[in-house]
Amino acid sequence: MRVNKYVYLAQGYALAKLGRPLFGEEIQAWEHGPVVPSLYQRFKSKVRGKPISKTCAGYSKDAFTDEEIQIMIDVMMDFDDYTEAISRMTYGRGSPWFKANAGAYANNPISVSDMKEYFSPRVGKSFIDRYAESRVDPGYLDSNGHYTLPKQFDDDEE
């Protein structure tokens, strides 16, 4: 559920920008990414791929400061079209999810301090900079010091 990933990213942004969490509920490291259990329970019956179209009962925009609302908007603007980047930042190697999970898929809690440490150097950078830091580079320097890609990346017909 993408909503859990966005909430996780918003929590990370808040920790980095404000020095405090956006909300108090624990985020857990589930097999397929970070999950806020109550959020999962609330939306698990929604049809995959369809947007959430109704406001949740009990929701009030007054629950958030203007600064917190801006953080949520920033997350949506930064990640709305970049599902691969969302995956890398939410459950890639070295992420707080990866640390909490430790290969166990045991729904372990994700440490707030790990999230703050992870997101602080990333927030405020451009999407391109964050993507470049998170991607695995398939190339290497050959013996002459030239950057070389593996054969499967070669599109020249020689």
**Can you spell out the DSSP letters for 117-129?**
HHHTTTTTS-HHH
Percent of the chain, pLDDT > 70? 65
The single-letter DSSP state of residue 32 is T
Q: What is the pLDDT of residues 45-82, one digit of tens each?
A: 765 666 666 666 777 778 899 999 999 988 888 777 66
In this structure, what are the phi and psi dihedrals at residue 108, rounded to the nearest 5 degrees? Answer: -65, 150
Residue predicted with more confidence, 127 or 21: 21
Is the predicted pLDDT of residue 21 greater than 80, yes or no?
A: yes
Is the predicted pLDDT of residue 152 greater than 60, yes or no?
A: no
Task: Kindly report the pTM of this predicted structure.
Answer: 0.72
* Residue 121 contacts residue 15 (beta carbons within 8 Å): no
pLDDT band at 27 (very low <50, low <70, confident <90, very high): very high
Averaged pLDDT of the chain: 79
Pick left, alpha or beta for residue 35 (phi over 0 → left; psi -120 to 50 → alpha; otherwise beta).
beta
Closest CA to 17 of 59, 62, 73, 61: 73
pLDDT of amino acid 16: 94
H runs (alpha helix) in the chain: 2-18, 37-43, 66-79, 83-91, 96-101, 112-119, 127-134
- Can you tell me the mean pLDDT for 133-158? 60
CA distance 53 to 67: 24
Closest CA to 37 of 46, 47, 27: 27
pLDDT of amino acid 158: 47
- Can you tell me the mean pLDDT for 99-119? 88
Residue predicted with more confidence, 48 or 42: 42
pLDDT of amino acid 104: 75
* Residue 4 contacts residue 35 (beta carbons within 8 Å): yes
In this structure, what are the phi and psi dihedrals at residue 109, rounded to the nearest 5 degrees? Answer: -70, 145
- Can you tell me the mean pLDDT for 115-143? 69
Q: What is the pLDDT of residues 59-68, one digit of tens each?
A: 777 889 999 9
